[in-house]
Structure formats: C-alpha cells, structure tokens
Amino acid sequence: MRPTIYAFCFLIVFSISCSSGEKELPYKDLLTYGIPLEIQAPDSVDIRSSDIGGQKDVVLNGEDGYKLQIFSSDAYHNESTAVEEYKSEISKHPRFKEFVQEKPQGFVYAFQLDSTTVNYGFRYIDVKGGKEIVIQQGMLGIYTKEEAEKLFNYALKSK
C-alpha cells in the first residue's frame, strides 16, 4: 500500500511542477549580430539588427508577446552604476508610477499613462567585454505587469 501512496504523491507533485511555470525556450546566440549574449527566444523569432553610430540595436519579435530590444555600446560605467543611472532617468519621467521589481542587474517599472492605463517596462543591464548591454521590452505596445515580468525573466536568464 505504501509504494502506491508514494507513487501517487510523486505523480501529483510531478504534474504540478510540469504544468506551472513558464515554457523553457532555447537560447539564441546574438554574437553574429554584434552582441556578446545568449538569450532565450522562440525558435521562430524574427531578429533584426541595425547600427546607430557606435551602438548596436537588435530587435527580437516572436510568438506569445515575445518582444525584446537589445542595445549594445561601449561601457563607461560598471553594472551597478549603470543600473542606478537608468533607474534615476526613468523615475524622472512625468508618467513614472513605481518600481515593481528590483534586481542587482535591472528592474521592472510602471508608468501611469492615464487614469485607467498602466504600462509596464523593464531594463536589464549587463556590462561585459567592455560593452554595456541593455535589454528592454519592445518599443511598441503597452505591456501588462505579467508580460513585462515574463520578458524581464528572459533577460535575467541571459548569458
């Protein structure tokens, strides 16, 4: 009887752990686009790259609201200083409402667009190889808190 109970408990725990949580996506290497970074992205992701002066701009668009914009330029500060500068810049925006999540390498924030609309975004900063890499939500669109946090989590898992 005991092995049956243990097996039943194991199946319940296993099915809950498999069904809750986000779908793991494969990693895409962005080095061919001039950014020394690997990030999780759908297999069918559309990647577009451009150079703006000394800055690389890579846009990733995929299914299920996957929209990321990644900038890379020469680094002039360490990671923590860069994060604080981005936080300061965003908090001065007239529509700034609050920071809803903060990590050492970035944050999720909210802008109050009007009395009923809140738009969420994030910044993730990684300084490596003399480059400052900034990952943020795609430029176009209004994001819910859940959407912004989901995209932020992809940035947090980048390597």
Lowest mean pLDDT among 11-25, 34-48, 69-83, 138-152: 11-25
Q: What is the pTM assigned to this prediction?
A: 0.84
Q: Is 127's pLDDT higher than 60? A: yes
| pLDDT category of residue 8 using cuts at 50, 70 and 90 | very low
Asked whether the predicted pLDDT for residue 126 surpasses 50, the reply is yes
Q: End-to-end CA distance of the chain: give it in Å, rounded.
A: 47
- Residue 37, pLDDT > 50, answer yes
pLDDT at 22: 56
The DSSP string of 63-108 is: STT-EEEEEEEE--S-HHHHHHHHHHHHHTSTTEEEEEEEETTEEE
152 in helix, strand or coil? helix
Residue with tokens 């994060």: 83
Question: Residue 155 corresponds to which tokens in the numbers above?
Answer: 């940035």
Quick one: pLDDT at residue 6? 42
pLDDT in tens, 41-91: 999 999 999 998 889 999 999 999 999 999 999 999 999 999 999 999 999
Residue 140: predicted pLDDT = 86
DSSP-derived pairing of the beta strands 118-128 and 55-61: unpaired
Domains (range + CATH), the chain:
26-156 (3.40.1000)
